[in-house]
Amino acid sequence: MTQPIVEMIGMHKHFGAVRAVDDVSCDLRPGEVVGLLGHNGAGKTTLIKILAGVYAQDGGTIKVRGQPVAFASPRDAQRAGIETIYQHLALADNIDAAGNLFLGRELLTRWGTLDTHRMAHEAGKIIRRINPSFTQTHLPVRALSGGQRQTVAIARALYFDAKILIMDEPTAALGPGETKMVKDIIRGLKQDGIGIYLVSHEMRDVFDVCDRLVVLKNGKLVGTAKVSEVTEDDVLGMIILGKSPVPRAATGATPA
């Protein structure tokens, strides 16, 4: 099997007395989509924010390509090739698509000033590649639809050549057509060897695109399973009851 591109080992994070993430380990291989599931407050978002460099962990080790890393800021995580698409998309509503795409990593002219025209050009190119019908890249993003905003967020990850992608509820606010678009993009990225953590509530999405899934409950790891070896009911049992999955093969071998 290929070397994991990300290993999170024994992660801990607490906010005051609340153990948001409590001894969770999970890894990710290139070209693999790992679903992160659990109720609200299970610790999914905290876990990915640690990997994205937003929070510092209180315990545990992160390795990227086998090397231990310490992220002091989102910028450090970006430098390690980790891009994150947040649930609320993390866009500045008053700024246009190009400005958002390059936010924090602007293209500069040789005098060190913003190269707005080149940024608009580059943003237009990559956005049209993802979503050919999206041409209003000069409007403030508040004027855009959910799918267009999602396109901007995904374009940001693609432009900066993510090797590891974190997607937090990427289809939550989207219609059916837009959801299909996002899933197609995920499959395409997988082909390119990008490792993806997908946080989702949508069982359909998870079973459509994920290879493995990781279930959290109350900050603790319930279990990890290959999608091909579990049913939706098994997964719901893990999420709701915190039951470790019993592989179907094993169930079949055991007399009832």
Partner 1 sequence: MISMVLALIAIWIGLELATSGLFLSARNLYNLSIQTSAIAVVSCGMVFVIVARQIDLSVGSLLAFTGVLTAFAQVRWFEGMASATWMLSIVVGLAAGVVVGLFQGWWVAYRGIPALVVTLAGFLMYRGAAFLIAQGQTIAPLDETYQRLGGGAAGSIGVAASWVIGAAGCTWLGWYVWNTRRERAKYTADQTPVWLDVIKVIVGVAAIAGFVAVMASYPDRSQADDDGNAPGMGIGVPVLILIGVVVVLSFLAHRTRFGRYVFAYGGNPESAVLAGINTRFVLVKIFVMMGILSTVAAVITTARLNAGANSIGQLTELYAISAAVIGGTSLAGGVGSVPGAVVGALVIQSLDNGMVLLDIGSAQRQIIIGLVLIAAVWFDVVYTKRQSR
For residue 20, the minimal CB distance to partner 1 (Å) is 18
Selected range binding partner 1 among 18-26, 35-43, 52-60, 213-221, rule: CB under 8 A: 52-60
Among 17, 66, 67, 104, binds partner 1 (CB under 8 A): 104
Residue 75 sits in the site that holds partner 1 (CB under 8 A): yes
Residue 92 sits in the site that holds partner 1 (CB under 8 A): yes
What's the CA gap between 99 and 61, in Å, rounded?
A: 34
Residue 121 sits in the site that holds partner 1 (CB under 8 A): yes
Describe the crossing of helices 176-191 and 146-159 by its angle, rounded to 10 degrees. Answer: 10
Strand 18-28 vs strand 67-69: parallel, antiparallel, or unpaired?
unpaired
* 176, burial (CB in 10 Å: exposed 0-12, middle 13-18, buried 19+): exposed
Among 3, 59, 93, 139, binds partner 1 (CB under 8 A): 93
Selected range binding partner 1 among 21-29, 68-76, 195-203, 212-220, rule: CB under 8 A: 68-76
**Which C-beta is closer to partner 1: that of 45 or that of 225?**
45
One-character DSSP codes across 36-78: EE--TTSSHHHHHHHHTTSS--SEEEEEETTEEE--SSHHHHH
Chain contacts with partner 1 (rule: CB under 8 A)? 52-54, 73-75, 78, 84, 86, 88-95, 99-100, 103-106, 108, 112-114, 116-118, 120-121, 124, 138, 142
